[in-house]
């Protein structure tokens, strides 16, 4: 049995500039981090005596004799594209639900490519995994997705990614231990209770991006990447949290102008409740319209925050520094 583990991610700034529809004509960059919440995929070669060749277990269980009959789009696309002939039992587990804005789809794609590469005894770098995942999602499946999630999932860590001149450049954020601890101990996910398909939510935003109707907003989100990097690399943890929280709020207000589908009345109400409970700022994770809110709450405000938000699901998140890995092989 081979098991892959791949982190999900939270994006701080720059989301929307990581789409080729934008960065192929302008500079794109994002700032975010991989979190200690994971997708696990195991694969076991099946004996030839069974009456099926592929068993895929996730929110449903598929048992089929032919790859073309597999309903899971990524599994079907990767096995077909790589001409896999082995009979396989594939099981998928995750720490948090899918379609919740944490990049789980791309994390799964990276993890499945890592697992299949290990089965085939291939040497794959983290860059190989990220690039291959982008190809699977955008080219093979024609999904309406950006390209930051695949890199966060593959590399792990707290990073800035720049998309210019057909290349992706990674810049790890150089934080002091005190500032990094202050940040990671202040991040909380608040569940909205809604899930959605990011590709569908992004239709309006992509049309506006292509027509250059949101260039001003995307330029502002890009400027926040530069400013956010400088704030995180400062030396005063308390000042860093105050400034970073304000920037998250500023970015969220800008992000909502990208599309009418980014937020809704329920999400706005929950966000306002979290800020009133003590959060310095935050944003909705991912494309919008559901999933998790990311809120920044300093240690001295957390007791009140948890008390006033006790009716909501609140999940602390930490930093993953490993990225995509094979636990057993």
Segment 3-62, tens digit of pLDDT: 999 999 999 999 999 999 999 999 999 999 999 999 999 999 998 778 899 999 999 999
DSSP assignments along 126-187, one per residue: HHHHHHHHHIIIIIIS-----SHHHHHHHH-SEEEEEEETTEEEEEE----HHHHHHHHTTE
Q: Where in the chain is the domain with CATH 3.30.70.890?
A: 177-316
Give the angle subtended at the CA of 85 by the CAs of 81 and 90, to the nearest 5°.
85
Predicted confidence (pLDDT) at residue 268 exceeds the cutoff of 80: yes
Predicted confidence (pLDDT) at residue 256 exceeds the cutoff of 90: yes
Q: Where in the chain is the domain with CATH 3.30.230.10?
A: 2-173
| Residues 103-162: tens digit of each pLDDT | 999 999 999 999 999 999 999 999 999 999 999 999 999 998 899 999 999 999 999 999
Question: CA-to-CA distance for 177 and 159, rounded, in angstroms?
Answer: 15
How sure is the predictor about 288, in pLDDT bands with cuts at 50, 70 and 90?
confident
Look at residues 93, 224, 75, 196 and name the one whose alpha carbon lies nearest to residue 140: 75
> Could you tell me where the DSSP H helices lie in 198-258?
198-201, 203-210, 215-232, 237-255
Using the structure block, give the residue that is written with the tokens 């929280």: 245
In percent, how much of the chain has pLDDT > 70? 98
Regarding the domain with residue range 177-316, which homologous superfamily does it belong to in the CATH classification? GHMP kinase, C-terminal domain (3.30.70.890)
Indicate the SS3 state at residue 35.
strand
Question: CA-to-CA distance for 26 and 209, rounded, in angstroms?
Answer: 11
| Residues 75-87: tens digit of each pLDDT | 999 999 999 999 9
Per CATH, the number for 2-173 is 3.30.230.10
CB 35 within 8 A of CB 11: no
Q: What is the pLDDT of residue 99?
A: 84
């Amino acid at each position: 049995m081979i098991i892959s583990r791949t982190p999900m991610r939270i994006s701080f700034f720059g989301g929307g500039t990581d789409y080729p529809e934008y960065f192929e004509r302008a500079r794109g960059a994002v700032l975010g981090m991989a979190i200690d919440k994971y997708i696990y995929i195991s694969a076991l070669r099946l004996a030839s005596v069974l009456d099926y060749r592929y068993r895929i277990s996730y929110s449903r269980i598929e048992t089929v004799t032919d790859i073309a009959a597999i309903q899971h789009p990524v599994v079907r696309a990767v096995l077909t594209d790589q001409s896999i002939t082995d009979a396989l039992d594939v099981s998928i587990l995750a720490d948090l639900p899918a379609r919740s804005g944490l990049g789980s789809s791309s994390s799964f794609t990276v993890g499945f490519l890592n697992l299949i590469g290990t089965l085939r005894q291939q040497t794959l770098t983290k860059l190989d995994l990220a690039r291959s995942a982008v190809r699977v999602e955008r080219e093979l499946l024609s999904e309406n997705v950006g390209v930051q999630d695949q890199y966060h999932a593959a590399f792990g860590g707290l990073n800035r990614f720049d998309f210019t001149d057909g290349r992706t450049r990674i810049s790890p954020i150089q934080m002091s231990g005190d500032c990094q601890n202050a940040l990671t101990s202040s991040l909380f996910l608040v569940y909205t209770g809604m899930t959605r398909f990011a590709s569908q939510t992004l239709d309006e935003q992509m049309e506006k991006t292509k027509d250059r109707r949101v260039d001003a907003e995307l330029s502002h989100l890009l400027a926040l990447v530069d400013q956010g990097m400088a704030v995180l690399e400062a030396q005063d943890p308390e000042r860093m949290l105050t400034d970073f929280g304000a920037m998250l709020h500023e970015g969220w207000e800008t992000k909502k102008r990208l599309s009418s589908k980014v937020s809704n009345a329920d999400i706005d109400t929950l966000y306002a409740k979290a800020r009133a409970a003590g959060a310095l700022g935050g944003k909705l994770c991912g494309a919008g319209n559901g999933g998790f809110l990311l809120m920044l709450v300093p240690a001295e405000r957390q007791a009140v925050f948890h008390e006033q938000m006790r009716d909501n699901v609140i999940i602390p998140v930490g930093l993953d520094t490993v990225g995509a890995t094979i636990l057993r092989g």
